[in-house]
């Protein structure tokens, strides 16, 4: 409380911790980070510790500080209904307009150390709509927005097809009977949407449709397409479609990516990786045995890989997943980047968040020990210089 008051009263606050993990650069024992008006002003080790006059110094013995987690898409209820199911192709739907700033999940995510979050349409549509990046603070979606409409969300395989049945006897597709019903049909709808957008681009009078305009931006590679693809066959399909339609893609899910890890790396396809730790997580009758090395095969540094949690409130937040993957051989440097810098790069916000560097937003988390230790607790979460969860007093 006192520290908070001091932070409000003075321009510069310096936090001294046992260890600072800046991500940009080596970890620093006995490090410090100076925060000024919501931004990181400077950071360093004991040798460079010389707080300027008037700066408040907050001593945090025993704590470890790292950048707030940038979560590229842990499933959450902050988006109450993530899918506009009236059609299987809804490129103009914006997930930001589904955001509920008062949703309890926002606080739950913060408590898991997440400070920046990508709010995305669900994967029930072949082309679901536009995802945006938000900061987990603020009372309105406008106040929370960091960057709007960063990617177009799409999905392959069973996500958009299972449970659907053909509108036979219903007359037309509706909420109870909707397309597509097959893996082949999913690709067909995807291909058809983009081929029609291509035609519309050549005859611009029809390009007024906002959905078509979004698809055209994707065709012009101005908007990446994030394709949810879990099984190997769906990942292969996503890569094939990217080449066929000349799209800039990202792959989300990627639980069975091992067979295509090399292709993903050499073609520089960013991955939003959903750890596959339970055999049933790939989905229904197609569930396969989890492989624990997939992350490491992808995350050799040649392409950014983002790590997300398994669901808010289940205790399996991004940090837990990182610890889990580290336990099975993932490199420390890679899992920590996959929580911070890499997702920030994938989302196009690495100039603002993802590392501790001068000029970045002061989005920091303070932990009671090493971030990859199961016994470590998050003591406090700071967004834009404000301690928003927990407290930093002794």
- Contacting positions for another protein (CB under 8 A): 161, 166-172, 179-189, 191-192, 195, 231-233, 236-237, 240, 259-260
| Alpha-carbon Rg for the chain in angstroms | 22
Q: Decide whether 167 or 369 has the Cβ nearer to another protein.
A: 167
- Report the nearest approach of another protein to the CB of residue 299 (Å): 21
Collect all residues with Cβ–Cβ distance below 8 Å to 177 and sequence separation of at least 6. Answer: 164, 165, 166, 167, 168, 170
Sign of torsion over alpha carbons 234, 235, 240, 244: positive
- Report the nearest approach of another protein to the CB of residue 233 (Å): 4
Sign of torsion over alpha carbons 226, 229, 232, 236: negative
- Report the nearest approach of another protein to the CB of residue 90 (Å): 16
Do residues 280 and 246 make contact, with C-beta atoms less than 8 angstroms apart?
Answer: no
Q: Decide whether 155 or 187 has the Cβ nearer to another protein.
A: 187
Q: Decide whether 188 or 328 has the Cβ nearer to another protein.
A: 188
Q: Decide whether 8 or 195 has the Cβ nearer to another protein.
A: 195
Distances (CA, A) of 99 to 110, 136, 143, 211, 373: 16, 11, 12, 20, 32
Collect all residues with Cβ–Cβ distance below 8 Å to 200 and sequence separation of at least 6. Answer: 206, 207, 209, 212, 216
Q: Decide whether 260 or 295 has the Cβ nearer to another protein.
A: 260
Q: Decide whether 60 or 187 has the Cβ nearer to another protein.
A: 187
- Report the nearest approach of another protein to the CB of residue 325 (Å): 24
CA distance 111 to 117: 13
- Report the nearest approach of another protein to the CB of residue 169 (Å): 5
- Report the nearest approach of another protein to the CB of residue 36 (Å): 53
């Amino acid at each position: 409380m006192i520290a908070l008051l001091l932070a409000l009263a003075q321009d510069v606050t310096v936090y001294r911790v046992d260890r600072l993990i800046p991500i940009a650069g080596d970890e620093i024992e006995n490090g410090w980070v100076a925060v000024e008006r919501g931004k990181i002003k400077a950071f360093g080790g004991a040798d460079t510790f010389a707080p300027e006059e008037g700066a408040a110094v907050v001593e945090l013995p025993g704590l470890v500080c790292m950048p707030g987690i940038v979560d590229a898409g842990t499933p959450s209820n902050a988006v109450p209904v993530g899918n506009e199911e009236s059609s299987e192709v809804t490129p103009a739907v914006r997930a930001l307009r589904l955001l509920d700033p008062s949703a309890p999940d926002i606080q739950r995510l913060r408590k898991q150390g997440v400070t920046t979050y990508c709010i995305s349409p669900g994967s029930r549509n072949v082309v679901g709509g536009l995802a945006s990046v938000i900061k987990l603070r603020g009372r309105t979606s406008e106040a929370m927005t960091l960057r709007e409409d960063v990617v177009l969300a799409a999905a392959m395989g069973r996500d958009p097809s299972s449970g659907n049945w053909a509108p036979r006897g219903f007359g037309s597709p509706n909420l109870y009977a909707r397309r597509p019903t097959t893996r082949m049909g999913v690709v067909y709808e995807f291909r058809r949407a983009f081929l029609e957008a291509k035609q519309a681009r050549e005859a611009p009078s029809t390009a007024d449709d906002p959905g078509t305009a979004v698809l055209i931006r994707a065709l012009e590679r101005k908007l990446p397409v994030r394709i949810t693809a879990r099984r190997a066959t769906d990942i292969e399909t996503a890569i094939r479609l990217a080449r066929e339609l000349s799209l800039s893609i990202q792959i989300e899910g990627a639980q069975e990516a091992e067979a295509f890890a090399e292709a993903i790396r050499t073609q520089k396809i960013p991955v939003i990786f959903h750890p596959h730790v339970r055999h049933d997580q790939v989905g229904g009758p197609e569930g396969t045995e989890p492989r624990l090395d997939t992350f490491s095969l992808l995350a050799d540094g040649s392409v950014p890989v983002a790590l997300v949690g398994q669901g808010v409130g289940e205790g399996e937040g991004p940090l837990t997943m990182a610890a889990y993957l580290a336990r099975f051989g993932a490199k420390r440097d890679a899992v920590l980047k996959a929580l911070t810098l890499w997702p920030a790069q994938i989302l196009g916000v690495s100039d603002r968040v993802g590392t501790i560097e001068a000029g970045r937003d002061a989005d920091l988390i303070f932990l009671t020990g090493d971030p990859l230790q199961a016994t470590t607790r998050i003591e406090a979460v700071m967004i834009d210089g404000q301690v928003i969860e927990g407290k930093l007093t002794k």
